[in-house]
Structure 1
Amino acid sequence: MPPIGIPAKRALPAKESSLFKELLNLYETRQLKKGLKTADQILKKFPEHGETLCMRGLILTHMGKREEGLELVKKGVRLDLTSHICWHVFGLIQKGEKNYEEALKSYTQALRFDKENLNILRDAAHLQTQLRIYDSLVETRHTLLKLRPTLRQNWIGLAVAYHLNGNLKEARNVLEHYESTLKNIPDYDVEHSESLLYHVRVLEELGEYEDAISFLDINAKSRAIVDRVAVMEFRARLLSKMHSADAEQAWQPLIEQNPDCYDYYRGFLSNRGVDLDAVTDETRSKALQCLRDFSTQLPRANAPRRLALNIALGDEFKELAEPYLHSGLRKGIPSLFADIKALYSDAQKRQVIEDIVELERTKSEHPPQPDSSEPSTYLWTLYFLAQHHSSLSHHARALELLDTALTHTPTLPELYMLKARVLKRSGDPFGAARCMDEARLLDLQDRFLNTKAGKYRLRAGLVEEASEIFGLFTKKDAASPGADLEDMQSLLFLTEEADAHLRNGSPGLALKRYLAIQKVFADFEDDQFDFHGYSLRKFTVNPYFGLIEWEDRLRSHPAYVHSAIEASQILIRLHDDPSLATATSTSASLTDAEKKAKKKAKKAAQKVQEETKKAAGNSANEDKGLEPSPAKDDDPDGIKLLQAPEPLERAAKMLHPLRTLAASNVAAWIAIYDVAIRRKKYVQAVKALSSAHVLQADYPELHVRLVHCKRTVSSLPEPLAAPVGPVVTSTITKLVPDEQSLELFNSQYLQQHSGNARAVLATAKASRLLQASQEEVENTLFTVLNPDVSFDIKTALGGLALLNEIKSGRIEEFRTACDARFELATIFKPAGELSALRRLALEADFAKVDAEKQEVIS
């Protein structure tokens, strides 16, 4: 007869029961092989014992047999639906697969049958935090505290749960109860110190500044809080919020300790009624005087002098800018231009900076006395001026200055790097790649220079040649440099290679890389899971809240936004033209000469890599079985990704986070519209257009979508039913008046923005949507070539793409005109010349360079 309370199908005889306990212990100690044998012993006599089946399945998943293990766990759950062990194991499996919602359901089921299981409660709390289910988190933390009130982390866990749920008063009450129970606290207890600092944070967020400062001072004097810098920062911030006269004295030692922290100056000045981010005419003189005093008091500090440049105007700005720029040029600071570039939004300040640096160039070029100026000052002045003119699109002048600088000092890598950047901006990607390669040849062991060279080869579409450079610093036993960089979550590489594949006409490979970026961010999101427990165990609560806030806005990162938008555009093209899924790889579009050069370069690079591996063999790890071999890539060209079903649903899922996290990005709303209108989600579509219109009403691509939206809705076979129909109609009417025809709306937009090339291109696209004649579309587009239109390379490429789409007979005419307009650009050269430029880049003896590098390293 089974023990009371245990179902008959779960009960085991004494021998098997002790074996099952041993099985649990073997799993906990990770003795998997012994655990598997023990499970088999039990199942030999009781093949339908659900808990043993689940444990055997769990062990198999840890041994790499995931599919077999998962089937066993499911079978075990079906055989014993009332066992908390079965549901717990099922939850562990689902958690391992990052399926947090289903895992939490399994844990909830487990808690129905064992409400006081600490392990399950802790795991459930972590899952609730991961999924941001804070109401349930509070209940779980309450239960944990009731079960183990002597465990300090349970008190902090409940306070954090209340805090995350927005109930700061209850969080404060929990902390006060917790602190009242403490006895015999050891000196310099860091964990206790962190919990006290968290208490101060809660009081600050509640607005109880006096209580917070009193609590802070008491615990700081008693040495209960050991982080002295945190004490100073909290105290200064609290005193400023209290508008106390002692606030300045609190900020002063912080500034002296770290004189280049901008936040400290902001805090100091805020106490004087000055907002550094919004200085008014009334507060300007006060702020400048204060920053001057700090510059005198801390002569080696850069921050007060730089902040003063943001505030000063007119002659006062010139007076402050002259010593700042002269000091940077004399010291040869390469980042000086990047430091002051933000000031260029003010045309007057930009002109003053140019005048100062030009005067410095004249002085250093022709010093009154032979020893009155350092030669390096002249060099760095030329470098700064080249950056200045390049930022203003004066590329010819920038190149002229750089040639002068290279004649003066031909061994400075920064000059070649800047020349490459100028060539890239002027439309010569192959010249830029060659120039960046010259920079890296000056220091072959510099990873930064090699990385930049690889990046510029990607910009030129030389993907395999870029991979050769990246392979110099990645694992030699990796499947490929790209695979290793993907494992290392290199967003720079993944973004640049995806863009390169897209430019090369390989949407499959581009989509593959964009999805790899999406996976990186999914991994970032998963990585926080372990910190839900770790941060409470170690009492690092304040940094933990920073982590939670960062994770909540994770997908606002520019790399994610860019990849989501570009990937969605590829998927939209797939929906519009399913034949795109049969596209071949890029190698098919290369000429025979290019293929030969590519093959030669690849063969030479492989030889270098083999020699490197052989040379490094003695120091390599002999145990090759420690790490699993990488999974085989069964879709090297991304064709299967293109052929996957429901492209619009996949695109919508990628773009969903951008609705809240990239709400200020017009391009994101345009992408959201493109997907929604094709999914026939008309309310979502018009809301996206409204959001974009609020941000930038005259945005060119928005104009195209407005025309597209109204034309699409008006051409529906039947009017949209309520409540969708009235919402869509009223929203469109606000954006495009009913009394105007779309043709008139389009022509008026062109008249209003006739000097903007992007607006002209948008008008041509809209004319095509309105089924205007090909001649009309061409004539509209060709107005971008008028001398009074502000034309750029990106718009020119867009114009060429449009002409290709409509199969225009004037493509060559437009290309020739662009080639003449952009004299330094090579991307508008005839196909034969472009092929020659590409072949020249492919035939460069990259392998020789790599061999030289290996020789230098050895």
Structure 2
Amino acid sequence: MALSKIDEAIQHAPTVIDSYEVAIHIHLKWMEVFLFMNKNLDGHEAGDLVAAASLADEARCMDLADRYINSESVKRMWLWQKKTAALFTKEGDQHNNLHDMQCMWYELASGESYTRQGYLGQALKKFLAVEKHYADITEDQFDFHSYCLRKMTLRAYVEMLKFQDRLHSHSYFHKAAAGAIRCYLQLYDSPLNSPAEEEDHTLKTHQKKKMKKQRKAERAKKEADEKNEESSASGTSKSGKRHVKPVDPDPYGERLLKTEDPLSEATKYLKLLLKNSPDSLETHLLSFEVNMRKQKILLAFQAVKQLLRLDAEYPDSHRCLIKFFHKVGSMPAPATDAEKLVWSVLEAERPSISQFQEKTLSEANEIFLCKHQDSLMHRVVVAEMLYILDPTKKLEAVKLIEDSSNIVELTNAALGPIMTWKLKDCIAVHQLLEKVLVDQDAALRWKVRCAEYFPYSTYFEGSRSSAVNNLFNNQEGKTPVNGDTSDPEISQSTIPIISN
């Protein structure tokens, strides 16, 4: 209904950019970015990223001097993993220009896009670039100390000190640190050990691009050389020395991928999150994942306790709780004094957990299900834990998921029934059925079912999505589905200059 109304508005006044912006948000409104360990997905509740990107680009072309519309278009293109345009950067190396301007929202969107595509080296470069911005902000404060004392601007000085105290609690830093930790976890779970794997990864990142776009690269190089020769006179200082821009020795992040201990690198950023974002569920979820891989039992248990403190009924809190004690139960008996001390702490703390009042893990899992019968994600977590605790109950776990019902949350005479399921949750369920429970038939049945609930979703190939309607037939001759593309050039963060 919302789409039909905004279409009427666009037909009535096709040159009003605000109408296109509303249409963009309708296509993107109902879904938030879904990033889950080793299952990185992205999209919005309507699920039609292609249509949203098309509308954003159409609105951008209406007013090429509007920075806000250009930024919105870039964001939507990143979600669709499409080429983006930079209208307000200097000609030449746009990536360095954006880095010098500390355009962190762009670097975060770029890093998340690279992560979804599996380019972990380039994703790490973007996330660590954001981290470097905050390090630069911390260093820049020292110029402000003497200035404030000299000018006696004590109120501004106190505000600056407070700002520095909470600097790393900013949402951009949290996203960058969390993204870097996830990349390091993926790198730890799937290391590039063999020379063949490293060669394949290198081929994936830049060799294919060079093979397909060699002529284009040579032409761009010639143009860049000509511009450098023209600007050589203006690039000299008063002393006659030329300002030479530093060359990035690792443009594809290959050195970052060759780190010997990814978990130690992840721990550095995890400590900052624990210090500056202690009330975030995501912080303690990452802490649990890192410390379980490092075999730091007490630190992982501390993360579980923090999750229970923040929200004991949260699905991931229950998942971490069951996985932790299932892992501890499968470990061999303690042999050293240190191990015995750890086990004594766990035995003393377990009775204090309300979920385990003289109950087994399976009983606690069933009680959790009884409390949240009508919630899709709670049922999914219970099914996943049922399979982990007893792999022979795979069919029972699948049935538990498929028996979930998309109940009506609210009935309104004007709006009609409103369902409770969200697209990001349904995508997560599909990934679980396909990759964890490894039941392709169940995954297909789930996809067909969700295509009816989300007809605009390109992931489920809904009947009204761009995957079916092929809205972008005039670009590259085919429409990427689920954000995937067969052309590596499309997936790269190429930023062609578009002039007025």
The TM tier, using the shorter chain, reads 0.7 to 0.9
The within-5 A match list for 1:596-611 is 603=216
Quick one: structure 1 residues 483 and 834, their matched pair in 2 at CA, closer, same or farther if it must change by over 3 Å?
Answer: farther
Deviations 1:753-784 (A, max 9, x none): 12222222322332333243432332233334
TM-score by length of 2: 0.78
Q: Does 1:403 align with 2:16?
A: no
CA contact (8 A) 1:686 1:731 kept: no
- The match for 2:342 among 716, 724, 727 is 724
Q: Report how many aligned residue pairs link the two structures.
A: 441
- Identify, as 1 or 2, the structure richer in helix: 1
- SS at 1:656 equivalent: helix
Alignment of 1:453-852 (within 5 A): 453-462=73-82, 465-466=83-84, 469-470=85-86, 472-478=87-93, 481-579=94-192, 582=197, 588=204, 603=216, 621=234, 623=236, 626-636=242-252, 638-719=253-334, 721=339, 723-735=341-353, 736-737=355-356, 739-773=358-392, 774-784=394-404, 786-787=406-407, 790-806=420-436, 807-810=438-441, 811-829=443-461, 833=467, 841-842=475-476
Letter in 2 for 1:564: A
Instruction: Report what 1:440 is aligned to.
Output: 60
Return the match for 1:412 from 16, 24, 33: 16
Q: Is contact 1:430–1:841 with CA below 8 Å preserved after alignment?
A: no
TM-score by length of 1: 0.47
- Three-state SS of the structure 2 residue aligned to 1:657 is helix
Tell me the distance in 1 between the aligned counterparts of 2:233 and 2:63.
26
Partners of 1:441 and 1:555 lie apart in 2 by: 37
Structure-2 change in CA distance of 1:763 and 1:509 (3 Å): farther
How big is each residue's C-alpha offset from its partner over 1:133-154, in whole Å with a ceiling of 9 and x where there is no partner?
xxxxxxxxxxxxxxxxxxxxxx
Partners of 1:414 and 1:568 in 2: how far apart? 38
Kindly provide the CA deviation profile for residues 603-623 of structure 1, in whole angstroms up to 9, marking residues without a partner as x: 59x77x959x97x96999353
Residues 486 and 516, structure 1, Cα contact 8 Å, conserved in 2: yes
CA contact (8 A) 2:51 2:466 kept: no
The 1:833/1:485 distance shift into structure 2, 3 A limit, reads: same
Distance in 1 (CA, whole Å) between partners of 2:120 and 2:405 is 30
Measure the CA separation in 2 of the matches of 1:486 and 1:559.
Answer: 14
Letter in 1 for 2:164: E
Structure 2: which amino acid aligns with 1:520?
A: H
| TM-fit CA distance, 1:705 | 0.4
Alpha carbons 2:28, 2:52 under 8 Å: kept: yes
Larger Rg: 1
User: CA offset at residue 435 of structure 1?
Assistant: 0.5
* Shift, 1:657, TM fit: 2.1
Q: 1:639 to 1:693 in 2, by over 3 A?
A: same
Q: Distance in 2 between matches of 1:409 and 1:716?
A: 67
> Counterparts of 1:457 and 1:473 in 2: how far apart (Å)?
17
Native 8 Å contact 1:423 1:429 kept in 2:
yes
Q: Give the equivalent residue in structure 2 for 1:382.
A: none
| Structure 2 Cα separation of the partners of residues 603 and 781 of structure 1 | 50
Q: Secondary structure at the match of 1:829?
A: coil
Rounded to whole Å, the distance in 2 between the matches of 1:485 and 1:784 is 46
Q: What letter matches 1:795 in structure 2?
A: D
The 2-side partners of 1:633 and 1:815 are apart by 44
SS at match of 2:403: helix
The sequence identity of aligned pairs, in percent, is: 27
8 Å contact from structure 1 (residues 517, 560) kept in 2? yes
SS of residue paired to 1:475: coil
Deviation, structure 1 residue 511: 2.3
Contact 1:784 1:791 in 2 (8 A): no
- 1:424 corresponds, among 28, 48, 69, to 28
Q: Distance in 1 between matches of 2:202 and 2:429?
A: 23
Preserved CA contact (<8 Å) 1:461 1:503: no
Q: Is the 8 A contact 2:455 2:461 kept in 1?
A: no
Q: Are residues 658 and 427 of structure 1, via their aligned partners in 2, closer, same or farther at CA, if it must alter by over 3 Å?
A: same
8 Å contact kept, 2:281–2:310:
yes
CA distance in 2, matches of 1:843, 1:544: 58
Unaligned runs of 5+ in 2: 30-45, 409-418, 479-489
Tell me the C-alpha RMSD between the 2 structures.
Answer: 3.8
Say whether the 8 Å CA contact 2:374–2:405 is kept in structure 1.
Answer: no
Q: Retained in 2: the 8 A contact 1:428–1:825?
A: yes
Structure showing greater relative contact order (alpha-carbon pairs closer than 8 Å, 6 or more residues apart) = 2
Q: CA deviation at 1:493?
A: 0.3
Question: CA offset at residue 681 of structure 1?
Answer: 2.2
Give the gaps of 5 or more residues in structure 1.
1-396
Change (3 A) 1:701 1:781: same
Structure 2 CA distance for aligned equivalents of residues 570 and 564 of structure 1: 10
Give yes or no for contact 1:676–1:684 (8 Å, CA) kept in 2.
yes
